[in-house]
Amino acid sequence: MALKAASLLPSSISVYKEGKSIASFKETGFFGCSFSLPNHLKADCNYSLIRSKELRRRELPIGTIKAQTATTTPAIAEAGPEAKKTLRKGNVIITGASSGLGLATAKALAETGQWNVIMACRNFLKAERAAKSAGIPKENYKVMHLDLASLDSVRQFVDNFRRSGMPLDVLVCNAAVYLPTAKEPSFTADGFELSVGTNHLGHFLLARLLLDDVKQSDYSSKRLIIVGSITGNTNTLAGNVPPKANLGDLRGLVGGLNGLNSSSMIDGGEFDGAKAYKDSKVCNMLTMQEFHRRYHEETGVTFASLYPGCIAETGLFREHIPLFRLLFPPFQKYITKGYVSEEEAGKRLAQVVSDPNLAKSGVYWSWNKLSSTFENQLSQEASDAEKALKLWEISEKLVGLP
């Protein structure tokens, strides 16, 4: 019956976050439900037997789904026992915090009185107005300009943040561009396809540059969080809605995603706006795991991803057709049962930021119908250690890191 009901809905979702009228920000699975269903081309010559041995050493265990019913959303309200390490407030950067999930998370954290929130947004005035409208206490937030579609802007943001003299305890990579109805690709200031260039490459550079700051934190729990999506996981019903995420052998990424001497799609195929978003989410989840493998043991930083649920009733859908806006919320509420309000989703992400019970690194967090967290299982591609390594090294070259 759920599949029959789903057929009433359009096959693509168009939303916006942080500015451009053609784009929208994040977290929607077409079905949005989180129930699970029961490499590829040979590697380049650069990935030799030595690399294979390295991969075996770096293997990340993604265990079976394990309920943690004692951990529920309201846990963000109080600081954990570890907070005795320092008496100051925590400092958290949240990208895309001017609306949707990012704004709800900023509000949830700021209202505890335990956090200073740096709202990293492309539209400064929009973010200020949103914070004021949401009632976020002025003393608990600061807006700073960041355009993830420009690598120069990312570097400038990092410089500006460091000049502020604030320590950094948690980085939340939340912002995302979603262009499911686009017929032709758009591009970042650096010439990358916009969805992957913003959602993956912009965040990749930001996280790499700010990792040193997080490492130096004296706060009780230092974390780097990248928001994932059920739509990028092909081991779920929502992840199997066409077009499905598939990075292939990364040939398009190797070519620079510029649509000139290479495809604008990671797998080298024809442009598809919905698939570009889903591919970028796979990149986000692979990147989180590679951060974990490389840095967790050495630094003590917790690296995590999450899917907070389907935020079906939100202003993010204002660009979508009226029929979708009418049918999608009740479909999520009564058919898939995957509906989550913006406020609840924000509390869930805030929980991953602050809850001492969610300090395990390398985990993709989800919530059950009782709002209890569990360690969810990623798809085969989204947990492919060899692909994560190759993605990391190609991304380094594209963003100009040594």
Hey, which residues are catalytic here?
Answer: 277
Residue recorded with tokens 């250690």: 385
Residue 297 CB burial class (10 angstroms; 0-12, 13-18, ≥19): exposed
- Which residues share a beta bridge with 222? none
Query: Residue 170: in which H helix or E strand, if any?
Result: strand 170-173
Q: Beta strands of 239-391 (E only): which ranges?
A: 302-306, 363-367, 372-376
Counting every residue, how long is the chain? 402
- Nearest to 259, CA basis, from 176, 175, 188, 153: 188
The answer to whether residues 267 and 247 touch, using CB atoms and an 8 Å cutoff, is yes
The C-alpha atoms of residue 95 and residue 354 are separated, in whole angstroms, by 17
Residue type, 301: V
- Nearest to 286, CA basis, from 192, 393, 374: 393
